[in-house]
Structure 1
Amino acid sequence: MVKAVVGANWGDEGKGKITDTLADSADVVIRFQGGANAGHTIVNEYGKFALHTLPSGVFHQNVMNIIGNGVALNIPVLFNELKSITEKGVPAPQLMISDRCQIVMPYHILFDQLEEERLAGKSFGSTKSGIAPFYSDKYAKVGFQVNELFQDEAVLAEKIADVCVKKDVLLVNLYHKEPIDQKALFRTLLTYRDMVAPYVGNVSEYLDKAVKENKTILLEGQLGTMKDPDHGIYPMVTSSSTLAAYGAIGAGIPPYAIEKIVVVNKAYSSAVGAGEFTSEIFGEEAEELRRRGGDGGEYGATTGRPRRV
């Protein structure tokens, strides 16, 4: 059975905790969208963890944890996260990365930061994780899939040169910065290749077999419905669909395979960043709720910013 776990609000509902609980009886947990711009907080016998890219099944040794093709993969963040949990005594989890997953490039993060600075008071409240530039490139067909790291190095260098021509136009003329160092970027991608090599696989093939064998598969969503670019508070939204329906696309399974949808809500609303909100309290009441809420307070798992409540 395939179950999708998604948020009903602006994120921060507790999806990670629910996924972690459901993972007790699961075979596979897969992240299907988003990137390191939001985190799932989990507290267990090993300690307190904020997972930004790793699926919430990593604390269960029987679970295969998958980074799906719909994820914005920040490779250094993923491996820092992996190191952070094993350093606290968590056994190394089973992990697979889709060969079709696309990579958050260093210049995506740079462009995100520069654009927020340029917009100043009119900014979108980005976490500056490179997510919007990443998805812009993905749909403009100039992104880098994980599988491209393993092609002929001359082909990879040629694509870097082609992409950098376009990026440098913006960097130099709009943001007044130095152009991208192509040789340094090439070396970075080779380093990324070596890091992910032991984990890359054909996720669609793996999941096809798992569905046919009636394995229990959890699709773990990021953020919430109100941050969906089509059905949320556009334009103050994220850049990938946060809805359960996208789980089929971002994981690589047929839509009819999703038999159950778990929608996570909480007793009050909270959100990080700008945009429309149902209602909002301020002052001492807000501080009190912020202090008592969540696991150690209502603060963003990624940015540490106080959540609006």
Structure 2
Amino acid sequence: MQPAFVPPDVSLDAGELDESCFDQSLNYTTFHVAGLVPGLSYALTVGLESDGNMVALSTRTFAVGSVLLPGVDGRLSVADALEAGAQLHNARDRAAASRVYRYVLDIFPDHPQAQHLLGLALYQDGEPRQALHYLQRAVQANQTEENFHNALGICLKSLGRADEAIRHYRRALELNPMLAQASINLGDAMQSQGKWEEALKEYSKVARTPMHLLERHTEVEKAEHLAKDATGRMCELIRVTDGWYHADRCLNEALERWPDEAVFHNDRGNLLANAGQFETALDEYQRSADLGLLIGKVLKASKPAAVGHSIANSFFCYYCYS
């Protein structure tokens, strides 16, 4: 395989091609090549031999997609351009990230990952209707990417289209049963429709999954946050459906697992204060304050009766809304 066209702004010093053996299955042949230079066109020649004689020869050309980003020297592959956008996105510079995604879409308008990322950025900027267009296009372009379905479900639910959101959450979980965030989102959608048992099933599934299994499918820190998130939602739903006593048991189990989790101490303080157990509630607020939670310091500074009045008929689950 040789370069067929080299744009004047592209240098071939980026590296040599690494062509490996191909995989052949039935009538399909797959070649593995590394070191392709963004922006170049390559010619691939394939010959078919029979008994030592060349009986057929075929040449095909293809171009390697590339993007020229303002302020960046040289061409970037589409993957590298999207990675640059994602880094800006993760740094909360969504405006700059969106510009990168739009540059990619200007050249490759049907690129599903660029559509997905731009849709996420728009949704996070409070533009769910604009986001919906791109998130739907991403799913249409790639029906087998679970994260695309999950993101589309989030957007649909925010627009009041819970039934459609549920279908996409379920599809995400069909594709990847260990996508914990989709299970939590499905639980939220079920809860919004008053389907308590189905919601509890989804929260419990994540909350009770062994941590080492969650960590296989996501980053270690994110896995723990997802487990705590699901546990907080589970305990809150148990309070609604089964009462404060069972919710207290749920929170105690959570604190056995995460004894230094300030949020759960605060949630238990709220629960006990609502039940009139003010002194015990204040102990929990003190514990949450010692662990650095600001709301625990505020409630600890209040008088017991004032605490009970301030949160009467309320139970705040931090993880449920974070």
Q: TM-score range by the shorter chain?
A: under 0.3
| More helix as a share of residues | 2
- TM-score between the two structures when normalised by the length of structure 2: 0.23
* Greater relative CO, 1 or 2 (CA 8 Å, sep 6+): 1
- TM-score between the two structures when normalised by the length of structure 1: 0.23
In our comparison, the structure showing a higher alpha carbon Rg is: 2
